[in-house]
Amino acid sequence: MFHKRSLGESIFSIVNTCFMLLLCVVTLYPFLYVLFASLSDPAEIARFRGMLFFPTGFNLDAYKAVMDNPMILTGYRNTIFYVVGGTAINLFMTTLGAYALSRRNVYFNNSIMLMIVITMVFNGGLIPTFLLVNSLGMLDTPWALLLPGAISSFNLIIMRTAFQAVPVSLEESARIDGANDWIIMSRIIVPLSMPVIAVMILWYAVGHWNSYFSALIYLRDRELFPLQLVLREILISNSTDSMTTGAAATDRLDIGITIKYATVIISTLPILCLYPFLQKYFVHGVLIGALKE
């Protein structure tokens, strides 16, 4: 590069680098703190104030208490069910819609697209949706978490754009060989659009994993609670009592604190572990979405 750096530019680049490092610290440190605190000795962490750079003392009782808690285990199991089942429904429905709407020369496709886009700008709102789910008899059943959000219109549009990019000639030659739309969709279009489909799986699955609001609205039966709703009780409403019944009264308060940290780690671990591998897909998805404006 023939451009010589001026003094101002050098100062800027130093400040910029420092700012970026600060951003990384501010982003990562809270997680490290929680990790160290969860591994610490409950009595010590209860007295400890300040920044942690390693666990104070070492104690796995909190993890044991969390793993022994039936609500955490049910929550985990339920969440896995909602993630797998919900994502499967999402993917199936979105693929159907994206395939049908990506076909050319289908008379009603434009009107149906319009009908879908309208729902992105205007919706009935919380109460009518709640009453609808209620009147369909889905209240307090897993269906309430799986069906009302079966398709994200935004994802449908992204997938449709990707399907449209598959060369028409492939489809035509399959048709000459006698393939119908179902075969063309499942054997040609979907396999050729795997990158987009991978992104969709990730987005939908992370959405199901993290969601708590629909469960809060639609579920009363604690046996059906997803992990996030259990977490809400432990972290926000601050009720760790159910997990500390065995401990003595003074220990109970102390271990309650480490239990909170251990719960955060256990519930975030799957995403933290997968994150480095999935990161490029996450980004890829935003970029596909950005192309279509």
Partner 1 sequence: MPNVQRNIVNTATENRTDKKWSMIKRDIVRNRYIYLILLPVLAYYIIFHYGPMYGLQIAFKDYGLADGIWKSPWIGFDHFKSFFGNYYFWRLIRNTFLINIYELLFAFPASIILALLLNEIRRSFFKRMVQTISYLPHFISIVVVVGMMIDFFARDGLVNHLLGMIGLEPVAFMQEPGLFRFMYVSSGIWQGIGWGSIIYLAAISNIDPTLYDAARIDGAGRWKQTLHITLPGMMPTIVILLILNMGSMLSVGSDKIILMYNPMTYETADVISTYVFRKGILGADFGYTAAVGLFNSVISFILIVLANSISKRVSEHKLW
If one asks whether residue 28 binds partner 1 (CB under 8 A), the answer comes out as: yes
d(CA 211, CA 52): 30
CA–CA gap between residue 117 and residue 153 (Å, rounded): 7
Smallest distance, partner 1 to C-beta of residue 219, A = 12
Q: Interacting stretch for partner 1, rule CB under 8 A, among 53-61, 187-195, 241-249, 263-271?
A: 263-271
Min CB(24)–partner 1 separation in Å: 5
Which H or E run contains 180?
none
> Which residue do the tokens 């220990």 mark?
251
Residue 248 contacts partner 1 per CB under 8 A: no
- What residue has token string 């109460």? 127
For the segment 39-58, give every residue that binds partner 1 (CB under 8 A): 49-51
The tokens for 43 are 């009595």
235 is an interface residue for partner 1 by CB under 8 A: yes
Spatial CA neighbour of 247 closest among 64, 115, 79: 64
Closest CA to 119 of 92, 157, 173, 170: 157
Binding mask 110-129 for partner 1 (x = CB under 8 A): --x--xx--x-xxxxxxxxx
Read off the tokens for 263: 């719960």
User: In angstroms, what is the minimal distance from the CB of 245 to partner 1?
Assistant: 22
To partner 1, the closest distance from the beta carbon of 92 in angstroms equals 9
Residue list 131-170, contact with partner 1 (CB under 8 A): 131-132, 135-136, 147-148, 150-151
